[in-house]
Amino acid sequence: MVLGLTGAIGCGKSTAGRLFEQFGLSRIDCDDIARELLTSDVGVIAEVVDAFGDRVMDRDGNLDRREIASIVFTDRSQLTVLEKIVHPRVSERWKGAVAADPDSHWVVEIPLLFEKNLQKWFDFTICLSCDRETQLERLNQRGMTPEEADQRIAVQFPLARKVELADHILLNNGSLPFLSDQINWLIQTRNLT
């Protein structure tokens, strides 16, 4: 089986993904793939510089992800440009990994799963949910200002919409054991052992 794991930024997708992995599922984090492409794929780096100019390069000759974020999260048309560069390659990677090991149970973390209408690729979808206060606190712990957090939240579907679209919802306001118990229940219910 292939599970699509999503949720709004700061809801705990990566934490949940690691828990699924601890329970024996193979895990793919699409954010990790995107970061890898932006740091080490020469073709992606060149396309990003062509699209946004030298201002997105830091002194060491690497892409300045913070500068890119300041551009794309304040102008949706610029976000679309970046997505056209990165998303097809991310998609190719996770689909290739799943195809290479079809006998495994997979959990694929995709922040924009519903926004990009990718649910058809999964046996079922899971949405991580938490209250806004918890979400903003987690983003603050990552070093985001409230304005940066609001900009990133604004480019995704509202969390309530993702919850509505998902096959399963995991609540992540509480403790790690509480989240782990929900995941274990889901794995047992869906026979993913």
Structural domains for the chain = 1-25+105-193 (3.40.50.300), 35-104 (no CATH)
Share of the chain above pLDDT 70, in %: 100
Nearest-angstrom CA–CA distance, 50 and 47? 5
Geometric angle at alpha carbon 178, from 173 and 181, rounded to 5°: 140
The secondary structure element, H or E, covering residue 171 is strand 168-171
Mean pLDDT, the chain, whole residue set: 96
Please give the pLDDT value at position 193: 81
Nearest-angstrom CA–CA distance, 62 and 118? 31
> Dihedral (C-alpha) 75, 31, 139, 7: value to the nearest 10 degrees?
90
| pLDDT value at 99 more than 90 | yes
